[in-house]
Structure 1
Amino acid sequence: MRLDTLHTAETPEGIALSLRPAGLMARSLAYMIDLAIRLVFFIVLSIVTRFMGGVGTALMLIGFFALEWLYPVVFELSRRGATPGKRVMGLRVVMDSGLPVTPAAALIRNLLRTADFLPAFYGAGLTSMLLRRDSKRLGDLAAGTLVVFTDSVSLHGEVPAAEPLAPLRPLSMREQAAVVSWAGRARRLTPERLEELALIAQPVLPAAPPGAKATARLLGVAQWVMGRRNANANDRGARP
Protein backbone atom coordinates (compact mmCIF):
# COMPACT_ATOMS: atom_id res chain seq x y z
CA MET A 1 0.00 0.00 0.00
CA ARG A 2 1.23 3.49 -0.88
CA LEU A 3 0.83 5.99 1.93
CA ASP A 4 2.24 9.08 0.23
CA THR A 5 0.19 11.38 -1.98
CA LEU A 6 2.89 12.46 -4.40
CA HIS A 7 1.90 12.79 -8.03
CA THR A 8 4.78 12.32 -10.48
CA ALA A 9 4.62 14.04 -13.87
CA GLU A 10 7.19 13.94 -16.65
CA THR A 11 7.79 17.03 -18.79
CA PRO A 12 8.63 16.87 -22.53
CA GLU A 13 12.28 17.54 -21.54
CA GLY A 14 12.36 14.32 -19.52
CA ILE A 15 12.31 16.01 -16.11
CA ALA A 16 10.32 14.18 -13.44
CA LEU A 17 8.25 16.55 -11.29
CA SER A 18 7.01 15.42 -7.89
CA LEU A 19 3.79 17.30 -7.18
CA ARG A 20 2.02 17.20 -3.83
CA PRO A 21 -1.76 17.35 -4.34
CA ALA A 22 -3.67 19.48 -1.84
CA GLY A 23 -6.15 17.60 0.31
CA LEU A 24 -9.70 18.35 1.37
CA MET A 25 -8.85 20.51 4.39
CA ALA A 26 -6.42 22.86 2.63
CA ARG A 27 -8.74 23.31 -0.35
CA SER A 28 -11.77 23.86 1.89
CA LEU A 29 -9.99 26.59 3.85
CA ALA A 30 -8.88 28.23 0.59
CA TYR A 31 -12.49 28.13 -0.65
CA MET A 32 -13.76 29.74 2.56
CA ILE A 33 -11.22 32.55 2.24
CA ASP A 34 -12.23 33.18 -1.37
CA LEU A 35 -15.91 33.04 -0.40
CA ALA A 36 -15.34 35.68 2.27
CA ILE A 37 -13.50 37.92 -0.22
CA ARG A 38 -16.30 37.60 -2.78
CA LEU A 39 -18.91 38.26 -0.12
CA VAL A 40 -17.19 41.50 0.90
CA PHE A 41 -17.06 42.67 -2.73
CA PHE A 42 -20.72 41.76 -3.23
CA ILE A 43 -21.80 43.68 -0.11
CA VAL A 44 -19.85 46.76 -1.23
CA LEU A 45 -21.36 46.48 -4.73
CA SER A 46 -24.86 46.16 -3.25
CA ILE A 47 -24.38 49.31 -1.17
CA VAL A 48 -23.02 51.29 -4.12
CA THR A 49 -25.84 50.27 -6.49
CA ARG A 50 -28.64 50.41 -3.93
CA PHE A 51 -29.98 53.79 -4.98
CA MET A 52 -29.37 53.43 -8.73
CA GLY A 53 -32.71 51.84 -9.55
CA GLY A 54 -32.89 49.40 -12.44
CA VAL A 55 -29.37 50.22 -13.58
CA GLY A 56 -28.07 49.40 -10.13
CA THR A 57 -29.88 46.06 -10.15
CA ALA A 58 -28.36 45.21 -13.53
CA LEU A 59 -24.88 46.16 -12.33
CA MET A 60 -25.33 44.10 -9.19
CA LEU A 61 -26.35 41.02 -11.22
CA ILE A 62 -23.38 41.47 -13.55
CA GLY A 63 -21.08 41.85 -10.57
CA PHE A 64 -22.51 38.73 -8.95
CA PHE A 65 -21.93 36.75 -12.15
CA ALA A 66 -18.35 38.01 -12.42
CA LEU A 67 -17.57 37.22 -8.78
CA GLU A 68 -19.07 33.75 -8.98
CA TRP A 69 -17.74 32.58 -12.37
CA LEU A 70 -14.94 34.88 -13.57
CA TYR A 71 -13.19 35.47 -10.23
CA PRO A 72 -11.54 32.00 -10.05
CA VAL A 73 -10.79 31.80 -13.78
CA VAL A 74 -9.00 35.15 -13.90
CA PHE A 75 -6.82 34.40 -10.89
CA GLU A 76 -6.00 30.84 -11.95
CA LEU A 77 -4.79 32.13 -15.32
CA SER A 78 -2.49 34.63 -13.61
CA ARG A 79 1.23 34.07 -13.17
CA ARG A 80 0.72 32.48 -9.75
CA GLY A 81 -2.09 30.21 -10.95
CA ALA A 82 -4.15 30.67 -7.80
CA THR A 83 -6.97 32.67 -6.28
CA PRO A 84 -6.18 34.78 -3.18
CA GLY A 85 -7.50 31.99 -0.95
CA LYS A 86 -5.27 29.39 -2.58
CA ARG A 87 -2.28 31.72 -2.32
CA VAL A 88 -2.86 32.13 1.42
CA MET A 89 -2.91 28.33 1.78
CA GLY A 90 0.16 27.89 -0.44
CA LEU A 91 -1.73 26.23 -3.30
CA ARG A 92 -1.92 26.63 -7.07
CA VAL A 93 -3.72 25.03 -10.01
CA VAL A 94 -1.64 23.22 -12.65
CA MET A 95 -2.22 20.73 -15.42
CA ASP A 96 -1.68 17.02 -14.74
CA SER A 97 1.69 17.41 -16.47
CA GLY A 98 2.79 20.08 -14.00
CA LEU A 99 2.55 22.80 -16.65
CA PRO A 100 0.58 26.06 -16.09
CA VAL A 101 -3.17 25.71 -16.40
CA THR A 102 -4.61 26.57 -19.83
CA PRO A 103 -7.59 28.93 -20.41
CA ALA A 104 -9.79 26.04 -21.59
CA ALA A 105 -8.93 23.94 -18.53
CA ALA A 106 -9.57 26.85 -16.15
CA LEU A 107 -13.00 27.43 -17.71
CA ILE A 108 -13.96 23.75 -17.64
CA ARG A 109 -12.92 23.13 -14.03
CA ASN A 110 -14.86 26.15 -12.81
CA LEU A 111 -17.97 25.66 -14.93
CA LEU A 112 -18.23 22.11 -13.61
CA ARG A 113 -18.46 23.38 -10.06
CA THR A 114 -22.19 23.05 -10.74
CA ALA A 115 -21.79 19.28 -11.05
CA ASP A 116 -19.52 19.19 -7.98
CA PHE A 117 -22.24 20.95 -5.97
CA LEU A 118 -24.79 18.16 -6.58
CA PRO A 119 -26.80 16.85 -4.84
CA ALA A 120 -26.11 19.59 -2.27
CA PHE A 121 -23.25 21.38 -0.51
CA TYR A 122 -20.60 20.12 -2.97
CA GLY A 123 -21.47 16.53 -2.15
CA ALA A 124 -20.21 15.06 -5.44
CA GLY A 125 -17.01 17.09 -5.37
CA LEU A 126 -16.21 16.22 -1.76
CA THR A 127 -16.88 12.53 -2.37
CA SER A 128 -14.56 12.51 -5.38
CA MET A 129 -11.79 14.25 -3.42
CA LEU A 130 -12.06 11.80 -0.53
CA LEU A 131 -11.95 8.73 -2.77
CA ARG A 132 -8.95 9.78 -4.89
CA ARG A 133 -5.29 9.94 -3.84
CA ASP A 134 -4.81 13.09 -5.94
CA SER A 135 -7.88 14.76 -4.32
CA LYS A 136 -9.43 15.68 -7.67
CA ARG A 137 -12.99 16.88 -7.82
CA LEU A 138 -15.16 16.31 -10.91
CA GLY A 139 -14.08 19.59 -12.48
CA ASP A 140 -10.41 18.62 -12.14
CA LEU A 141 -11.06 15.22 -13.72
CA ALA A 142 -12.77 16.79 -16.73
CA ALA A 143 -10.19 19.55 -17.17
CA GLY A 144 -7.08 17.45 -16.46
CA THR A 145 -5.99 19.80 -13.68
CA LEU A 146 -4.48 19.35 -10.25
CA VAL A 147 -4.41 21.57 -7.15
CA VAL A 148 -0.97 21.26 -5.56
CA PHE A 149 1.12 22.77 -2.80
CA THR A 150 3.61 25.35 -4.06
CA ASP A 151 6.64 24.33 -2.02
CA SER A 152 9.86 25.98 -3.18
CA VAL A 153 12.25 23.59 -4.89
CA SER A 154 15.96 23.67 -5.62
CA LEU A 155 17.10 23.03 -9.16
CA HIS A 156 20.28 21.42 -7.88
CA GLY A 157 19.99 19.03 -4.98
CA GLU A 158 22.41 16.77 -3.20
CA VAL A 159 24.67 14.68 -5.41
CA PRO A 160 23.80 10.96 -5.05
CA ALA A 161 26.40 8.73 -3.42
CA ALA A 162 28.73 6.89 -5.81
CA GLU A 163 32.20 5.35 -5.91
CA PRO A 164 34.63 8.19 -6.81
CA LEU A 165 36.07 7.70 -10.29
CA ALA A 166 38.67 9.84 -12.05
CA PRO A 167 37.97 11.09 -15.58
CA LEU A 168 40.11 9.88 -18.45
CA ARG A 169 41.56 13.35 -18.90
CA PRO A 170 41.77 16.59 -16.92
CA LEU A 171 38.51 18.56 -16.99
CA SER A 172 38.23 22.30 -17.49
CA MET A 173 36.44 24.40 -14.90
CA ARG A 174 33.40 24.62 -17.19
CA GLU A 175 33.34 20.85 -17.62
CA GLN A 176 33.63 20.29 -13.87
CA ALA A 177 30.74 22.68 -13.26
CA ALA A 178 28.64 20.90 -15.90
CA VAL A 179 29.28 17.48 -14.36
CA VAL A 180 28.42 18.61 -10.82
CA SER A 181 25.34 20.46 -12.09
CA TRP A 182 24.16 17.32 -13.89
CA ALA A 183 24.69 15.22 -10.75
CA GLY A 184 22.75 17.73 -8.67
CA ARG A 185 19.73 17.26 -10.92
CA ALA A 186 19.93 13.46 -10.80
CA ARG A 187 16.95 13.09 -8.45
CA ARG A 188 14.77 15.35 -10.61
CA LEU A 189 15.41 13.69 -13.97
CA THR A 190 13.96 10.44 -15.18
CA PRO A 191 16.51 7.56 -15.39
CA GLU A 192 16.23 7.55 -19.19
CA ARG A 193 16.97 11.27 -19.51
CA LEU A 194 19.78 10.99 -16.94
CA GLU A 195 21.45 8.22 -18.94
CA GLU A 196 20.98 10.15 -22.19
CA LEU A 197 22.82 13.16 -20.76
CA ALA A 198 25.51 10.97 -19.20
CA LEU A 199 26.31 9.44 -22.60
CA ILE A 200 27.32 12.90 -23.84
CA ALA A 201 30.26 12.70 -21.42
CA GLN A 202 31.32 9.27 -22.71
CA PRO A 203 34.76 10.53 -23.96
CA VAL A 204 35.85 11.39 -20.40
CA LEU A 205 34.28 8.46 -18.57
CA PRO A 206 36.56 5.76 -17.14
CA ALA A 207 36.38 2.24 -18.52
CA ALA A 208 33.74 -0.07 -17.10
CA PRO A 209 32.56 -3.68 -17.48
CA PRO A 210 30.26 -4.38 -20.45
CA GLY A 211 26.70 -3.27 -19.81
CA ALA A 212 27.64 -0.72 -17.14
CA LYS A 213 25.54 2.43 -17.33
CA ALA A 214 27.12 5.78 -18.08
CA THR A 215 25.05 7.32 -15.29
CA ALA A 216 26.88 5.43 -12.52
CA ARG A 217 30.29 6.27 -13.97
CA LEU A 218 29.51 9.97 -14.40
CA LEU A 219 28.19 10.14 -10.82
CA GLY A 220 31.54 8.70 -9.77
CA VAL A 221 33.34 11.39 -11.76
CA ALA A 222 31.17 14.03 -10.06
CA GLN A 223 32.22 12.71 -6.66
CA TRP A 224 35.88 12.78 -7.76
CA VAL A 225 35.56 16.35 -9.08
CA MET A 226 34.18 17.43 -5.69
CA GLY A 227 37.37 16.13 -4.10
CA ARG A 228 36.06 12.91 -2.61
CA ARG A 229 38.49 10.01 -2.63
CA ASN A 230 38.82 6.62 -1.00
CA ALA A 231 41.47 3.97 -0.80
CA ASN A 232 39.94 1.96 -3.63
CA ALA A 233 39.52 4.85 -6.05
CA ASN A 234 41.81 4.59 -9.05
CA ASP A 235 42.43 8.14 -10.21
CA ARG A 236 44.63 7.14 -13.17
CA GLY A 237 46.75 10.16 -12.46
CA ALA A 238 44.18 12.59 -13.85
CA ARG A 239 43.62 15.93 -12.21
CA PRO A 240 40.60 18.24 -12.68
Structure 2
Amino acid sequence: MDEGIVTGEGVLLDARPASFASRVLGAVIDLLLLAVVGFLVVIVLVSTDLVASEQGARILTVVMVATATVIVPTTVETLTRGRSLGKLVAGIRIVRDDGGPTVFRQSFVRALVGVGELWMTAGSVALICSIVHPQGKRVGDMLAGTYAVRVRGTAPRRDVLPMPPYLAGWARHADIARLPDGLALSARQFVLRAGRLHPASRVELGSQLTQQVQQYVRPLPPPGTHPESFLVAVLAERRERELRAEQRAAVRDAHEATLLHRLPHGVPDPVD
Protein backbone atom coordinates (compact mmCIF):
# COMPACT_ATOMS: atom_id res chain seq x y z
CA MET A 1 0.00 0.00 0.00
CA ASP A 2 1.28 3.49 -0.86
CA GLU A 3 2.38 5.75 1.90
CA GLY A 4 1.52 9.37 1.47
CA ILE A 5 -0.92 12.19 2.01
CA VAL A 6 -4.43 12.20 0.56
CA THR A 7 -5.51 15.73 -0.30
CA GLY A 8 -9.06 17.05 -0.24
CA GLU A 9 -9.33 16.28 -3.96
CA GLY A 10 -8.58 12.62 -3.26
CA VAL A 11 -5.09 12.79 -4.80
CA LEU A 12 -2.35 10.80 -3.11
CA LEU A 13 0.86 12.76 -2.68
CA ASP A 14 4.24 11.05 -2.33
CA ALA A 15 5.40 12.04 1.17
CA ARG A 16 6.86 9.06 2.96
CA PRO A 17 7.57 9.39 6.69
CA ALA A 18 11.19 9.97 7.63
CA SER A 19 13.11 7.05 9.05
CA PHE A 20 13.93 6.87 12.74
CA ALA A 21 17.64 7.23 12.01
CA SER A 22 17.07 10.43 10.01
CA ARG A 23 15.06 11.98 12.82
CA VAL A 24 17.70 11.09 15.39
CA LEU A 25 20.45 12.52 13.17
CA GLY A 26 18.56 15.78 12.73
CA ALA A 27 17.84 16.04 16.46
CA VAL A 28 21.48 15.42 17.41
CA ILE A 29 22.74 18.09 15.00
CA ASP A 30 20.20 20.61 16.30
CA LEU A 31 21.14 19.77 19.89
CA LEU A 32 24.85 20.19 19.23
CA LEU A 33 24.26 23.53 17.51
CA LEU A 34 22.08 24.69 20.39
CA ALA A 35 24.75 23.62 22.91
CA VAL A 36 27.46 25.55 21.06
CA VAL A 37 25.35 28.70 20.88
CA GLY A 38 24.35 28.36 24.53
CA PHE A 39 27.97 27.91 25.59
CA LEU A 40 28.99 31.08 23.75
CA VAL A 41 26.12 33.01 25.30
CA VAL A 42 27.10 31.85 28.79
CA ILE A 43 30.70 32.95 28.22
CA VAL A 44 29.50 36.39 27.17
CA LEU A 45 27.12 36.73 30.12
CA VAL A 46 29.67 35.62 32.67
CA SER A 47 31.79 38.59 31.74
CA THR A 48 28.89 40.97 32.48
CA ASP A 49 27.18 42.02 35.69
CA LEU A 50 23.99 40.05 34.97
CA VAL A 51 25.16 37.04 36.98
CA ALA A 52 26.85 38.99 39.73
CA SER A 53 23.99 38.32 42.16
CA GLU A 54 22.28 35.06 43.03
CA GLN A 55 18.86 36.41 42.05
CA GLY A 56 20.18 37.56 38.67
CA ALA A 57 21.70 34.13 38.07
CA ARG A 58 18.37 32.41 38.79
CA ILE A 59 16.42 34.69 36.49
CA LEU A 60 19.02 34.24 33.77
CA THR A 61 18.88 30.47 34.17
CA VAL A 62 15.09 30.39 33.78
CA VAL A 63 15.24 32.65 30.72
CA MET A 64 17.95 30.55 29.08
CA VAL A 65 16.12 27.28 29.72
CA ALA A 66 12.86 28.66 28.30
CA THR A 67 14.71 30.07 25.31
CA ALA A 68 16.57 26.84 24.55
CA THR A 69 13.62 24.49 25.00
CA VAL A 70 10.67 26.47 23.64
CA ILE A 71 11.46 29.84 22.09
CA VAL A 72 14.34 28.86 19.81
CA PRO A 73 12.78 25.59 18.48
CA THR A 74 9.44 27.31 17.87
CA THR A 75 11.00 30.29 16.10
CA VAL A 76 13.35 28.25 13.93
CA GLU A 77 10.73 25.72 12.90
CA THR A 78 8.18 28.43 12.10
CA LEU A 79 10.55 30.56 10.03
CA THR A 80 12.05 27.61 8.14
CA ARG A 81 8.69 25.89 7.54
CA GLY A 82 9.76 22.79 9.45
CA ARG A 83 13.41 22.62 8.34
CA SER A 84 15.98 23.39 11.00
CA LEU A 85 19.68 22.95 10.24
CA GLY A 86 19.65 19.40 11.55
CA LYS A 87 16.58 18.48 9.52
CA LEU A 88 18.12 20.11 6.46
CA VAL A 89 21.24 17.95 6.82
CA ALA A 90 19.18 14.82 7.47
CA GLY A 91 16.94 15.53 4.47
CA ILE A 92 13.65 15.70 6.36
CA ARG A 93 10.94 18.27 7.00
CA ILE A 94 8.16 18.63 9.55
CA VAL A 95 4.77 19.00 7.82
CA ARG A 96 1.13 18.95 8.82
CA ASP A 97 -0.88 15.76 8.48
CA ASP A 98 -2.39 17.16 5.27
CA GLY A 99 1.07 17.82 3.81
CA GLY A 100 1.04 21.61 4.30
CA PRO A 101 3.81 23.61 5.97
CA THR A 102 3.78 24.03 9.73
CA VAL A 103 2.70 27.31 11.29
CA PHE A 104 3.40 28.89 14.67
CA ARG A 105 0.72 26.91 16.49
CA GLN A 106 2.05 23.51 15.46
CA SER A 107 5.66 24.51 16.13
CA PHE A 108 4.78 25.88 19.57
CA VAL A 109 2.87 22.73 20.55
CA ARG A 110 5.74 20.50 19.43
CA ALA A 111 8.29 22.56 21.37
CA LEU A 112 6.12 22.82 24.50
CA VAL A 113 5.40 19.10 24.62
CA GLY A 114 9.06 18.46 23.87
CA VAL A 115 9.99 19.93 27.24
CA GLY A 116 8.48 16.86 28.86
CA GLU A 117 9.09 14.11 26.33
CA LEU A 118 12.54 15.25 25.18
CA TRP A 119 14.27 17.28 27.87
CA MET A 120 12.78 15.99 31.15
CA THR A 121 12.91 12.32 30.09
CA ALA A 122 16.15 12.49 28.08
CA GLY A 123 14.19 11.68 24.94
CA SER A 124 13.03 8.25 26.16
CA VAL A 125 9.31 8.99 25.73
CA ALA A 126 9.83 10.38 22.22
CA LEU A 127 12.05 7.40 21.36
CA ILE A 128 9.46 4.80 22.38
CA CYS A 129 6.58 6.69 20.75
CA SER A 130 8.47 7.13 17.45
CA ILE A 131 9.31 3.43 17.29
CA VAL A 132 5.73 2.35 17.98
CA HIS A 133 3.88 4.86 15.79
CA PRO A 134 3.58 3.84 12.10
CA GLN A 135 4.53 7.34 10.93
CA GLY A 136 7.31 7.79 13.46
CA LYS A 137 5.39 10.45 15.38
CA ARG A 138 6.31 11.50 18.88
CA VAL A 139 3.75 12.82 21.38
CA GLY A 140 4.29 16.41 20.25
CA ASP A 141 3.58 15.42 16.64
CA MET A 142 0.33 13.67 17.58
CA LEU A 143 -0.92 16.68 19.55
CA ALA A 144 0.19 19.19 16.91
CA GLY A 145 -1.01 17.16 13.92
CA THR A 146 2.42 16.94 12.29
CA TYR A 147 5.04 14.40 11.27
CA ALA A 148 8.43 14.23 9.57
CA VAL A 149 8.70 13.39 5.87
CA ARG A 150 11.64 12.66 3.62
CA VAL A 151 12.47 15.41 1.15
CA ARG A 152 15.75 14.04 -0.16
CA GLY A 153 16.88 10.73 -1.54
CA THR A 154 16.44 8.74 -4.72
CA ALA A 155 14.29 10.73 -7.10
CA PRO A 156 11.06 8.92 -7.95
CA ARG A 157 10.71 7.71 -11.51
CA ARG A 158 8.47 10.01 -13.52
CA ASP A 159 6.23 8.04 -15.85
CA VAL A 160 5.74 9.58 -19.29
CA LEU A 161 2.08 9.65 -20.25
CA PRO A 162 1.64 8.20 -23.76
CA MET A 163 -0.61 9.97 -26.21
CA PRO A 164 -3.74 7.91 -27.02
CA PRO A 165 -3.30 7.16 -30.75
CA TYR A 166 -6.89 8.00 -31.73
CA LEU A 167 -6.59 11.46 -30.09
CA ALA A 168 -3.17 12.38 -31.50
CA GLY A 169 -4.57 14.22 -34.52
CA TRP A 170 -7.10 16.15 -32.47
CA ALA A 171 -4.53 17.11 -29.82
CA ARG A 172 -2.02 18.27 -32.44
CA HIS A 173 -4.44 20.89 -33.81
CA ALA A 174 -6.35 21.72 -30.61
CA ASP A 175 -5.92 25.05 -28.87
CA ILE A 176 -4.69 23.99 -25.41
CA ALA A 177 -4.03 26.90 -23.07
CA ARG A 178 -1.52 26.58 -20.26
CA LEU A 179 -3.13 24.74 -17.36
CA PRO A 180 -2.76 26.09 -13.82
CA ASP A 181 0.03 24.22 -12.07
CA GLY A 182 -2.28 22.86 -9.38
CA LEU A 183 -4.81 21.55 -11.92
CA ALA A 184 -2.09 19.98 -14.08
CA LEU A 185 -0.57 18.26 -11.04
CA SER A 186 -3.94 16.95 -9.86
CA ALA A 187 -4.78 15.61 -13.32
CA ARG A 188 -1.41 13.90 -13.68
CA GLN A 189 -1.59 12.26 -10.27
CA PHE A 190 -5.12 11.13 -10.98
CA VAL A 191 -4.36 9.39 -14.28
CA LEU A 192 -1.26 7.72 -12.81
CA ARG A 193 -3.17 6.34 -9.83
CA ALA A 194 -6.63 5.89 -11.33
CA GLY A 195 -6.36 2.11 -11.22
CA ARG A 196 -5.87 2.17 -7.45
CA LEU A 197 -8.91 4.30 -6.68
CA HIS A 198 -12.36 3.08 -5.74
CA PRO A 199 -14.50 2.87 -8.92
CA ALA A 200 -17.02 5.43 -7.69
CA SER A 201 -14.29 7.87 -6.63
CA ARG A 202 -12.48 7.27 -9.91
CA VAL A 203 -15.53 8.23 -11.96
CA GLU A 204 -16.33 11.26 -9.80
CA LEU A 205 -12.78 12.63 -9.73
CA GLY A 206 -12.27 11.94 -13.43
CA SER A 207 -15.45 13.82 -14.31
CA GLN A 208 -14.55 16.78 -12.10
CA LEU A 209 -11.03 17.10 -13.50
CA THR A 210 -12.30 16.71 -17.06
CA GLN A 211 -14.78 19.56 -16.60
CA GLN A 212 -12.04 21.80 -15.22
CA VAL A 213 -9.53 20.97 -17.96
CA GLN A 214 -12.12 21.43 -20.72
CA GLN A 215 -12.23 25.14 -19.88
CA TYR A 216 -8.69 25.45 -21.29
CA VAL A 217 -9.21 23.35 -24.46
CA ARG A 218 -10.87 24.25 -27.76
CA PRO A 219 -12.25 22.47 -29.64
CA LEU A 220 -13.31 19.66 -27.33
CA PRO A 221 -12.38 16.08 -28.23
CA PRO A 222 -14.62 13.90 -30.40
CA PRO A 223 -17.90 12.82 -28.77
CA GLY A 224 -17.60 9.62 -26.76
CA THR A 225 -14.01 10.26 -25.68
CA HIS A 226 -13.33 8.72 -22.29
CA PRO A 227 -12.54 11.37 -19.64
CA GLU A 228 -9.28 9.69 -18.63
CA SER A 229 -8.14 9.45 -22.25
CA PHE A 230 -8.94 13.13 -22.68
CA LEU A 231 -6.83 14.05 -19.63
CA VAL A 232 -3.93 11.90 -20.81
CA ALA A 233 -4.05 13.45 -24.29
CA VAL A 234 -4.07 17.00 -22.91
CA LEU A 235 -1.19 16.33 -20.53
CA ALA A 236 0.87 14.52 -23.17
CA GLU A 237 0.36 17.27 -25.76
CA ARG A 238 1.04 19.94 -23.15
CA ARG A 239 4.32 18.24 -22.29
CA GLU A 240 5.37 17.99 -25.94
CA ARG A 241 4.57 21.65 -26.63
CA GLU A 242 6.47 22.84 -23.57
CA LEU A 243 9.42 20.64 -24.53
CA ARG A 244 9.48 22.09 -28.04
CA ALA A 245 9.22 25.62 -26.62
CA GLU A 246 12.18 24.98 -24.34
CA GLN A 247 14.20 23.61 -27.25
CA ARG A 248 13.41 26.68 -29.37
CA ALA A 249 14.35 28.95 -26.47
CA ALA A 250 17.66 27.12 -26.03
CA VAL A 251 18.47 27.52 -29.74
CA ARG A 252 17.53 31.21 -29.62
CA ASP A 253 19.66 31.80 -26.51
CA ALA A 254 22.63 30.06 -28.11
CA HIS A 255 22.24 32.18 -31.26
CA GLU A 256 22.01 35.40 -29.22
CA ALA A 257 25.06 34.39 -27.20
CA THR A 258 26.98 33.88 -30.44
CA LEU A 259 25.98 37.33 -31.69
CA LEU A 260 27.04 38.94 -28.42
CA HIS A 261 30.50 37.45 -28.73
CA ARG A 262 31.01 38.64 -32.29
CA LEU A 263 33.08 41.73 -32.95
CA PRO A 264 31.34 45.02 -33.89
CA HIS A 265 29.91 45.45 -37.38
CA GLY A 266 32.53 45.99 -40.04
CA VAL A 267 35.36 44.34 -38.13
CA PRO A 268 36.04 40.85 -39.44
CA ASP A 269 36.14 38.04 -36.96
CA PRO A 270 39.54 36.50 -36.37
CA VAL A 271 40.30 33.39 -38.37
CA ASP A 272 41.35 30.43 -36.25
TM (norm. structure 2) is 0.65
Corresponding residue number in structure 2 for 1:85? 86
Corresponding residue number in structure 2 for 1:28? 24
Are 1:49 and 2:11 counterparts?
A: no
C-alpha distance 72-224 of structure 1, shift in aligned 2 (>3 A) = closer
Within 2, Cα distance between the matches of 1:183 and 1:47?
55
Q: Residue 7 of structure 1 contacts residue 20 of structure 1 at CA under 8 Å; is this kept in 2? A: yes
> Where does 1:131-210 land on structure 2 (aligned, <5 Å)?
131-151=132-152, 158-164=159-165, 165=167, 166-167=169-170, 170-172=173-175, 175=176, 177-178=178-179, 186-189=187-190, 192-200=204-212, 201=214, 204-208=220-224
Structure 1 portions without partners, runs of 5+: 228-240
Within 1, Cα distance between the matches of 2:26 and 2:88?
8
Q: Residue 5 of structure 2 contacts residue 97 of structure 2 at CA under 8 Å; is this kept in 1? A: no
Q: Residue 81 of structure 2 contacts residue 102 of structure 2 at CA under 8 Å; is this kept in 1? A: no
Relative to its length, the structure with more helix (as a share) is 2
CA shift, 1:183, in A, is: 6.3
Q: Residue 171 of structure 2 contacts residue 234 of structure 2 at CA under 8 Å; is this kept in 1? A: no
Q: Which amino acid aligns with 1:39?
A: A
Q: Say which of 7, 15, 18 aligns to 1:19.
A: 15
TM (norm. structure 1) is 0.72
Corresponding residue number in structure 1 for 2:253? none
C-alpha distance 221-105 of structure 1, shift in aligned 2 (>3 A) = closer
Corresponding residue number in structure 2 for 1:237? none
CA shift, 1:26, in A, is: 0.6
C-alpha distance 197-62 of structure 1, shift in aligned 2 (>3 A) = same
RMSD: 3.5
Higher alpha-carbon deviation: 113-122 or 80-89: 113-122
Q: Which has the higher contact order (CA 8 A, sep 6+)?
A: 1
Larger Rg: 2
Corresponding residue number in structure 2 for 1:128? 129
Corresponding residue number in structure 2 for 1:40? 36
> Where does 1:110-121 land on structure 2 (aligned, <5 Å)?
110-117=111-118, 120-121=121-122
Structure 2 portions without partners, runs of 5+: 194-201, 242-272
Within 2, Cα distance between the matches of 1:86 and 1:206?
51
Task: Give the aligned length.
Answer: 215
The secondary structure found in structure 1 opposite 2:170 is coil
C-alpha distance 141-220 of structure 1, shift in aligned 2 (>3 A) = same
